Amino acid sequence: MKLSIYGKGGIGKSTTSCNISIALARRGKKILQIGCDPKHDSTFTLTGFLIPTIIDTLQSKDYHYENIWPEDVIYQGYGGVDCVEAGGPPAGAGCGGYVVGETVKLLKELNAFYEYDIIVFDVLGDVVCGGFAAPLNYSDYCIIITDNGFDALFAANRIVASVREKSRTHPLRLAGLVGNRTKKRDLIDKYVEICTMPVLEVLPLIEDIRVSRVQGKTLFEMAELDKTLRFICDYYLNIADQLLTYPEGVIPKELPDRELFNLLSDFYLNFNDSKNQIKETNLDFIIV
Ligand code: ADP
Ligand code: MG
Quote the pTM value.
0.91
Q: Is the CB of 53 under 6 A from ligand 1?
A: no
Instruction: List strand residue ranges (DSSP E) for the chain, in order.
Output: 2-7, 31-36, 75-76, 82-85, 118-123, 141-146, 173-179, 199-202
Q: What is the mean pLDDT of each run of 10 residues along the chain (288 residues)?
A: 96 97 98 92 96 91 90 96 90 78 92 96 76 90 96 94 95 98 95 97 98 96 97 98 98 95 74 48 41
Q: 3.40.190.10, 3.60.15.10, 3.40.50.300, 3.30.470.20: which CATH number matches 2-255?
A: 3.40.50.300
CA 36-74-166 angle, to 5 degrees, is 35
pLDDT value at position 206?
98
pLDDT value at position 271?
57
DSSP state of 10: T
Q: Is the CB of 11 under 6 A from ligand 1?
A: yes
Q: Could you tell me the residue ranges of all domains in the chain?
A: 2-255, 257-288
Residue 65 CA, chain-centre distance (Å), reads 28
From 13, 15, 33, mutation site for ligand 1 pocket: most ligand atoms within 8 A of C-beta: 15
pLDDT value at position 234?
98
What is the position in ligand 1's atom list of the atom closest to the CA of 180?
A: 23
Cβ atoms of 3 and 147 closer than 8 Å? no
Give residue 129 CA to ligand 2 midpoint distance, Å: 18
3-state secondary structure of 121: strand
Cβ atoms of 99 and 86 closer than 8 Å? yes
Q: Is the CB of 218 under 6 A from ligand 1?
A: no
Nearest to 52 by CA among 62, 40, 42: 40
Amino acid identity, position 135: P
| Tens-digit pLDDT profile for residues 103-138 | 999 999 999 999 999 999 999 876 567 778 889 999
> Is 282 marked as binding a ligand?
no
Q: Is the CB of 12 under 6 A from ligand 1?
A: yes
